Every structure is written in structure tokens, then in C-alpha cells.
A and B are shown apart, each in its own frame.
Chain A
């Protein structure tokens, strides 16, 4: 994988990557206006408030939009084609991007309920998402 594809955290985003390694999806929350936000910023995007708290997201949300990648813009993803990247709207409000797994590209739709699936990819822990209930999550199903 090329260096550019690896996350390069900054002083205000390192906590997010640390959280992923603990299998926690972390959001900033503004004590002044109460809103959760992602991606991390030095202050609240909505009201400019500082001293942001960090909360653990439930990890569930719905698909807001998606693309199906059919071209490898980096050699690192060539073996993954085709793959789906979704913008997921979390229950807490913020959106984030994630690979959508456990779902054929043709079955993706807006509003599809999904849940985070922490994934090791090239040495980094990343947040993928899968439809709920995913087949593997159904007790007794093999």
C-alpha cells in the first residue's frame, strides 16, 4: 500500500485512530450546543465551542449515499474491485465514510441499516460497515 493511503493522524485526530484500535467508534461532542461531530476538528463546527468531549458512538446508522469503485486509483485497492464505499449517517447524527461489506453492490440502497465492523486493513484498524442483520450475525446461521 502506498504511503498516501495510510492514515496520517494529526494532534486533533489521533484519538479517533486510537479508538478504532480499541474497536470504538469515537465522536466529538460539543458541551455548549450538544452536537456530535465527525470528522474531528479543533472546535465545534456548528457553534465554535471549544473543550470538546469525546463519546463512543453506538456504531449503527443508515446509508446516505454510496459509490461502487470499478477503477483502482491506487494499486493497493486493485484486488478489492469492485467495492462499495458508503457515506453512513450515524444514529448520533454525524456522517462518515466506510467500506460497505457483506452486501452485493446491486443490493445497496439509501436508508439501508448498517452497523460498524472493525477491520484490519494493511496494518490499520478501519471502520467498515455491513447491513444489519448481516448473515453472520444471525444466531445459528453458518
Chain B
């Protein structure tokens, strides 16, 4: 087997429900989601020989603990990555690399956390890294960090608060029929503009909603996936980029143009790896911990013209029935913050035709991103064709 692109696939995906207080240990959530992904694919625990997960500031369980909880046998590949929301596409890619290298045949990739009732990443102050240069000024948390990027985007492009609102409104509309989503009530522009600021330019609805839960995928060779229960979703392309990073994820001081996040640097190699481009995409599932991150991902990938993301959303083009359905589950803004693992899962379900009331008919090519700042990852996924 050569490289991972076109030869590996996602065979299934599953999640727990997303709640504000699971009342359950993180390991139980992890095992439920992983078990669900195996069931969906028609695989048994004995078929799995690799497992990967990620955390943000030690908020989850080791991948090997989930392996124990699932009753997996001997593993040839294990990965505990950090980086929170930058990780999910990268971990799928990493699992695909391990499979294409022969280290493992079938790998579970999961994210599990009590992100609401336990440690809340948006409100947790973590000493170390670049924090010593932020905290003394009261520059403390992710909503503020990404708001700083977004303001620069607004300065450079002339984008307005109405443009941010258009993103919120469009994604909320997509979430209306998504039973997993915790925010499903349509929002008007007036209602959006009347919300108090959290960190201007971000209001409450510009920010994701922290939740408890878990989400898992199973990655295997395309050859093996073809024999399983569901249509294989082919890993057609992917990549990671660390661009002008600093002392930690929140450090933007060495990054020159904060109006364009990592996605603009990732885009050329992502599209090249897949042999596809923005015009080929049927659905986009893009990381949106905040509206500003979504906009810089959307424009960074070249899915619309620079500065045009607000108008693109306002015109309804990202809706389920639009020309480029984007964040069909309502995004992290509406569904909840599973740190982007649910963003990848939504792409898989869409391409498998399993998204029910939010299904985009005939979706065959999807692009997915993970991350909102100076580094992150992406995938191009397709049906088997």
C-alpha cells in the first residue's frame, strides 16, 4: 500500500448525546461513542488494533484506557494528542498514515470530555506557555483570543457585525432539524445584535456552547471498509500546518496576518493532496468554535471571495438546500463543542447519506477543517467512486 490518500477510509461514526451534565465518567462516554462507531461499521472490538484521542489541557482519558474499557486486544498503534480543536482531522489523517504504513489495520479515533460539567476550556486559566504575557492584561480566554483575530479580519476586509450575525443565523437555521443540537431556535439579526458582548466583537451567539459528550470514528483500509456495513468514506486528501506559531495555541504575536488563519496556509496542500478544489465540494464542515474562526476557515479554503463570507451566508448559500451547504449540523455554534470531532462525524454521516432530516441530497465530496488560530488540520473526504 502507498500513501493514505485514496487507500484509507472512515467506516463509521457515532456519538453520545450532548448534554450540560452527563452525570457519567469521561471513560464511559468514550466507550459508548467508540462502541457505537464499531456497531455502525459492523466491526467487533477484536477487529481493532489501534486507538487515538486528543485532549485540551488534560480534560480527557488516555486512549489506552478507552481500549481497556472496550475490551480491545493488542494494539499496534496508539496516540494521545493535545491541541484541542486543531486535532480531529489530523488524528484521522494520523490513523490513516498508521494504516497505510502497516502499523494497524483498524483504528478508533475519539474525543470524550465533560466539557460543561467538568473542566470548561473556555474558562480555564492554564499557567505556562504564552499566558504570562496575556493574563496580566486581562487577556484570558479563547473567546478573547479569537475575537482579536476576528477584529483584524474586520479591519482588513471591512466586514461588519451584521456579517458575523449572518453566520450565526445561517448555522442556527441548519440546526433546526438536528436533534443533537443544543441551540435549535432560529435567530433574527435584531435578536443577535441585541445580545450583550462577551468579548467585543463576539456576542454570546458568536461563541460555541460547551457540552459533555463523546464522538468517535473508525478508520481502516478502503479495501477492508468495502466489506463492512456502511458505505466507506474515502480519505482523499489531508494535511496539517503550524504557521508562525508562538509559545502556545493562544499566542498570536509571531503570526503576521491574523485576518487569515491557518486554513489559508493549509489550503494549497490540502487541495493538492486530494486532486480536488473548492469548486468540487458538495458540503463543507468547518471548525467554528467562534464565528470568526468559521469565517477565516471558509475564506482561507477559497470557498468564497475574501471578505465575502458574511454575504455568502446571508444569501442562504450555506443552507442545507444552498449551493454550498456548510456546517449542516449547525456547527459547533449550535450543536455543541465536541472540539471538532463532531464536525468530522457530520461530514461522514452526510457522505454516507445518514444525516436524516439535515441530509444534503447526493453529497459526494466534503471538506473538513479543525482549528481556528495559527495551526490546524483538514481533510477532503469523498464517497467511494
The reply to whether B136 and A121 form a contact with Cβ atoms under 8 Å apart is yes
| B101 contacts partner chain A, Cβ-Cβ < 8 Å | no
Looking at the assembled complex, report how far the CB atom of B210 sits from the nearest CB atom of chain A, in whole angstroms: 13
| Residues of chain B in range 142-197 having any CB-CB distance to chain A below 8 Å | 143-144, 147-149, 151-152, 155, 196-197
Total B residues in contact with A, Cβ cutoff 8 Å: 38
State the CA gap A39–B130 with chains docked (Å).
Answer: 8
The reply to whether B140 and A73 form a contact with Cβ atoms under 8 Å apart is yes
Residues 57-82 of chain A, each 1 if its beta carbon lies under 8 Å from chain B, else 0: 00000001111111101101100101
Total A residues in contact with B, Cβ cutoff 8 Å: 44
Question: Chain A interface: which of B228-236, B250-258, B349-357?
Answer: B250-258
Looking at the assembled complex, report how far the CB atom of A109 sits from the nearest CB atom of chain B, in whole angstroms: 9
Given the known inter-chain contacts A4-B126, A4-B127, A8-B127, please indicate yes or no for A70 contacting B200, CB distance below 8 A: yes
State the CA gap A41–B131 with chains docked (Å).
Answer: 14
State the CA gap A5–B148 with chains docked (Å).
Answer: 19
Residues 256-284 of chain B, each 1 if its beta carbon lies under 8 Å from chain A, else 0: 00100000000000000000000000000
| A110 contacts partner chain B, Cβ-Cβ < 8 Å | yes
Residues 21-63 of chain A, each 1 if its beta carbon lies under 8 Å from chain B, else 0: 0000000000000000111010001000000000000000000
| A124 contacts partner chain B, Cβ-Cβ < 8 Å | yes
The reply to whether B123 and A73 form a contact with Cβ atoms under 8 Å apart is yes
Looking at the assembled complex, report how far the CB atom of A27 sits from the nearest CB atom of chain B, in whole angstroms: 12
The reply to whether B148 and A66 form a contact with Cβ atoms under 8 Å apart is yes
Looking at the assembled complex, report how far the CB atom of A80 sits from the nearest CB atom of chain B, in whole angstroms: 6
Contacts of B155 in A (CB 8 A): 65, 110
Contacts of B133 in A (CB 8 A): 7, 39, 96-97
The reply to whether B138 and A85 form a contact with Cβ atoms under 8 Å apart is yes
The reply to whether A85 and B144 form a contact with Cβ atoms under 8 Å apart is yes
| Residues of chain A in range 88-118 having any CB-CB distance to chain B below 8 Å | 94-99, 105, 110
The reply to whether B199 and A8 form a contact with Cβ atoms under 8 Å apart is no
Contacts of B136 in A (CB 8 A): 5-7, 121, 124, 126
Task: For B149, give the chain A residue with the smallest CB separation.
Answer: A65
From A2, A37, A68, A124, name the one whose CB has the most chain B CB atoms within 10 angstroms: A68
Contacts of B144 in A (CB 8 A): 67, 69, 73, 85
The reply to whether A68 and B253 form a contact with Cβ atoms under 8 Å apart is no
Residues 124-141 of chain B, each 1 if its beta carbon lies under 8 Å from chain A, else 0: 011110111111111111
The reply to whether B138 and A38 form a contact with Cβ atoms under 8 Å apart is no
Contact of B140 among A7, A8, A74, A82 (CB under 8 A): A74
Contact of A4 among B125, B196, B246 (CB under 8 A): B125
State the CA gap A10–B152 with chains docked (Å).
Answer: 30
Task: For A98, give the chain B residue with the smallest CB separation.
Answer: B137
Looking at the assembled complex, report how far the CB atom of B68 sits from the nearest CB atom of chain A, in whole angstroms: 33
Given the known inter-chain contacts A65-B155, A69-B199, A70-B199, please indicate yes or no for A39 contacting B137, CB distance below 8 A: no
| B65 contacts partner chain A, Cβ-Cβ < 8 Å | no
Contact of A39 among B141, B196, B253 (CB under 8 A): B253
Contacts of B198 in A (CB 8 A): 70-71
The reply to whether B135 and A66 form a contact with Cβ atoms under 8 Å apart is no
Contacts of A10 in B (CB 8 A): 132
Contact of B138 among A4, A45, A83 (CB under 8 A): A83
Contacts of A19 in B (CB 8 A): none
Looking at the assembled complex, report how far the CB atom of B317 sits from the nearest CB atom of chain A, in whole angstroms: 28
The reply to whether B132 and A9 form a contact with Cβ atoms under 8 Å apart is yes
| B247 contacts partner chain A, Cβ-Cβ < 8 Å | yes
State the CA gap A77–B127 with chains docked (Å).
Answer: 17
From B133, B147, B258, name the one whose CB has the most chain A CB atoms within 10 angstroms: B133
Q: Top 10 nearest A-B pairs by Cβ distance? A: A4-B125, A68-B200, A73-B140, A65-B152, A7-B132, A73-B141, A70-B197, A77-B138, A67-B147, A110-B155
For this complex, 13 residue pairs linking A to B, each with C-beta atoms less than 8 Å apart, are A2-B125, A4-B125, A4-B127, A5-B140, A8-B127, A8-B132, A65-B151, A67-B201, A68-B200, A87-B152, A87-B253, A94-B253, A110-B155
Apart from A39-B247, A39-B251, what are 7 other A-B pairs with CB-CB below 8 Å? A5-B136, A10-B132, A39-B246, A69-B138, A82-B200, A96-B133, A97-B253
